[in-house]
Structure 1
Amino acid sequence: MLNLDLQYFAADEKTEKATPKKRQDSRKKGQVPKSQDVNTGFLLLMVFGLLFLMGGSLKETLTGIFQHSFQEYITWEVTENQVYTVFVETLLEVSKVVVPLMGIAIIAGLTSNFLQVGVMFTGEPLKMDLKKLDPIQGAKKIFSARALVELVKSLLKISLIGTITFSIIWLNKDHMLMVSQTSVEGALAFFGRTAVIMGLASALALLLLSVLDYSYQRFDHEKNIRMSKQDVKDEHKNMEGDPQIKSKIKEKQRQMSASRMMSEVPNADVVITNPTHYAIAVKYDEDKSDAPYVVAKGVDFLALKIKETAKMHDVITVENRPLARALYQHSEIDQSIDEQFYKAVAEILAYVYQLQKKA
């Protein structure tokens, strides 16, 4: 009994790598290795990179909005048309700042996801699953090894990014203290440049961490989709078909074919027999075929049924051992007989037609 239990646990242990079908099924469910840090780091890098390249023009656009508002709009009368004009012009100017940032953010999000999981469309993660509301399962996730890894990763990110931003501020502390002595434009330029440098440095740090996180996510994903030996066997059975079910299907198909074949025996012109083991029902219909063709054939029990059916419907039976055996081996149902049997079958059919004429 102990040996059986050990064998059962050994068979149920997840020791096998996932098969291609298992991977495909997991992908359809949205279960793929993916790191959110890759998305965040790539997004920050692209956005702050855009600010680094276009920061000057974006600043000019924003300051232009304020200048225009306080120098021109403030002198306008408050009327419906004037308010509409102010709204449209301001919206167009703001869109010059917002649209590039939103566009680069969308491109960054799509690119980072594509690099990790490729093209994938699935609605499985959006389906309602009551198991997700199970408090016991939720508690297990909170105190799981994965939760511990996420905690360590979060603390590492906070520490690393905090250190980077503090270091940049510390290096620029002297300049920062002198900002009060500069113009507004100079102060804005300094703080904008410092913010962009901190953003780019933080993004690079996150991307560095994301490489480690993505490696862990792949490892964890591979571990979660592992299969037991029994799972592999069951999957193989499902793909190839259960042998017992396949044999039953084939048996059912044979029965249906035999039943359909037996229904054609009463229409045959003659049944050629062995006489015990073989029986071949032959018919000649010049409208259907230029040569005689086989409507039913069988050996042993099926041959006996063919002969019984022929007797019940007054179909003549002729014994010809070599011809019966040869026709069985070289002829198919609903197919014309081979040319080599034309003469022998024609003689039998002539004999049968003579008997029918006399009757």
Structure 2
Amino acid sequence: MQLRLDLQFFAGEKTEKATPKKRNDERKKGRVAKSQDVNTAFLLLFVLIMMAVFGSFMKDNMLALFQHTFTEFIHWDLTEKNVFQLFKEIMLEFAKIVGPVMIIAVVAGVGSNLMQIGFLFTTEPLKFDLKKIDPIQGAKRIFSLRALVELLKSFLKIVVIGSITFFVIWLFKDDMLMIAFKNAENALAFFARTTLIMGIAATIALLFLAVFDYTYQKYDFEKNIRMSKQDIKDEYKNIEGDPLIKSKIKEKQRQISMRRMMSEIPNADVVITNPTHYAIAIKYDEEKASAPYVVAKGVDHIAFKIREIAKANNVITVENRPLARSLYASVEIGEVVPEEFYQAVAEVLAYVYRMEKKV
């Protein structure tokens, strides 16, 4: 009893790698190994590069918008038409300024996801599930090992990015102290350059952290989708069908095929035997085939049944050991006799036809 319980316990332990079907099912549900830090790092990196490249373009357009606002728009009368026109022009200028950044942000977000999990579209996570609002399950998630890991990971990111930010500020502390002696344009340029350096340095550090996070997410995902030996057996049964049911279906099919074969024996012209081990029922019908064909065959018990049915229906039985063996090995039920057996079968049929004429 104890041994049986131990075997059941080990059979239920999730020690096996997930099967391709299990992985595919999880993917359809939207459950994949993905690090959000990779998305965030790539998004920030590409946006910062975009701002570095198009920063002067954005600055010029913003200055032009402010200048136009305080030199022309300010003199417009406050009417419905003017407000609509003002709103439209400002939105167009704003789209021109932030449009490139938004486009590169979308491309970076989609690209980082494709890089991690490939193309995946599923509505499964959007379906309503009461388990998602279950307070007990929620508490388990909050106080789980994964939640602790996420907390430590967030703390590490804060420490690393905070340290990098402090280091960059410390490098430029002298320039910051002299900012009061610079004009507004130079001051803004200094802060923009410092912010860009700070952002790129922090993003590079975040990329390194994202590599470790993706490795952990991959490991955690693989651990969560592990299967027990029993799970694999159940999956195999679902795919291939229960072996017991399959065997019963095959047995039923064999019985149906056997009955169909036995029903054709009374129509046969001759049964060629071994004499006891093999029995082959042959028929020749010019309308159905160009050569004689096999309507039934069998060995041992089935051969006995074929001979018995042939005898009951006055079908002539001819003993020809080599021919019976060769036909059984070479021809399936419903197939015509191969060319190499034409002469031997023709001699048997000629003998049968002579015997029938005598009768």
TM-score (norm 2): 0.86
Matches of 2:262 and 2:130, distance apart in 1? 56
Change in CA separation of 1:3 and 1:304 when aligned onto 2, cut-off 3 Å: closer
Matches of 2:348 and 2:258, distance apart in 1? 25
* Stretch moving more, 43-52 or 115-124: 115-124
Q: Count matched residues.
A: 358
Give the gaps of 5 or more residues in structure 2.
none
Matches of 2:180 and 2:295, distance apart in 1? 107
**Counterpart position of 1:51:** 51
**Counterpart position of 2:327:** 327
**Counterpart position of 2:317:** 318
Matches of 1:269 and 1:219, distance apart in 2? 71
The secondary structure found in structure 1 opposite 2:14 is coil
Decide whether the 8 Å contact of 1:12 with 1:229 is kept in 2.
yes
Decide whether the 8 Å contact of 2:270 with 2:318 is kept in 1.
no
* Stretch moving more, 232-241 or 278-287: 232-241
Matches of 2:19 and 2:257, distance apart in 1? 38
* Stretch moving more, 337-346 or 214-223: 337-346
**Counterpart position of 1:266:** 266
**Counterpart position of 2:121:** 121
Change in CA separation of 1:340 and 1:186 when aligned onto 2, cut-off 3 Å: closer
Shift of 1:85: 4.4
Shift of 1:106: 0.8
**Counterpart position of 2:197:** 197
Decide whether the 8 Å contact of 1:14 with 1:226 is kept in 2.
yes
Shift of 1:116: 1.9
Q: In the alignment, residue 75 of structure 1 is paired with which amino acid?
A: H
Shift of 1:301: 3.3
CA offsets, 1:114-144, max 9 Å, x none? 2222333333333333333332222111111
Q: In the alignment, residue 115 of structure 1 is paired with which amino acid?
A: M
Shift of 1:357: 4.7
Q: In the alignment, residue 328 of structure 2 is paired with which amino acid?
A: Y
**Counterpart position of 1:253:** 253
Decide whether the 8 Å contact of 1:161 with 1:202 is kept in 2.
yes
Change in CA separation of 1:298 and 1:52 when aligned onto 2, cut-off 3 Å: same
**Counterpart position of 2:145:** 145
Give the gaps of 5 or more residues in structure 1.
none
Shift of 1:28: 3.4
Decide whether the 8 Å contact of 1:316 with 1:352 is kept in 2.
no
CA offsets, 1:68-93, max 9 Å, x none? 12112233455666555444433332
* 1:109 paired to 2:129: no
Matches of 2:276 and 2:30, distance apart in 1? 64
Q: How does 1:150-299 map to 2 (within 5 A)?
A: 150-176=150-176, 178-235=178-235, 243-299=243-299
CA RMSD of aligned residues (A): 2.9
The secondary structure found in structure 2 opposite 1:263 is helix
CA offsets, 1:241-280, max 9 Å, x none? 6544443343233223222222322332223344544332
Decide whether the 8 Å contact of 1:261 with 1:295 is kept in 2.
yes
The secondary structure found in structure 2 opposite 1:56 is helix
The secondary structure found in structure 1 opposite 2:254 is helix
The secondary structure found in structure 2 opposite 1:264 is helix
Shift of 1:61: 0.5
Matches of 1:89 and 1:78, distance apart in 2? 15
Change in CA separation of 1:290 and 1:83 when aligned onto 2, cut-off 3 Å: same
* Stretch moving more, 222-231 or 64-73: 222-231
Decide whether the 8 Å contact of 1:14 with 1:227 is kept in 2.
yes
Q: How does 1:341-356 map to 2 (within 5 A)?
A: 341-356=341-356
Matches of 2:116 and 2:351, distance apart in 1? 80
The secondary structure found in structure 1 opposite 2:17 is coil
Shift of 1:59: 0.8
Matches of 1:133 and 1:82, distance apart in 2? 50
Change in CA separation of 1:233 and 1:320 when aligned onto 2, cut-off 3 Å: same
Shift of 1:234: 4.8
**Counterpart position of 1:4:** 4
Matches of 2:328 and 2:176, distance apart in 1? 102
* Stretch moving more, 189-198 or 286-295: 189-198
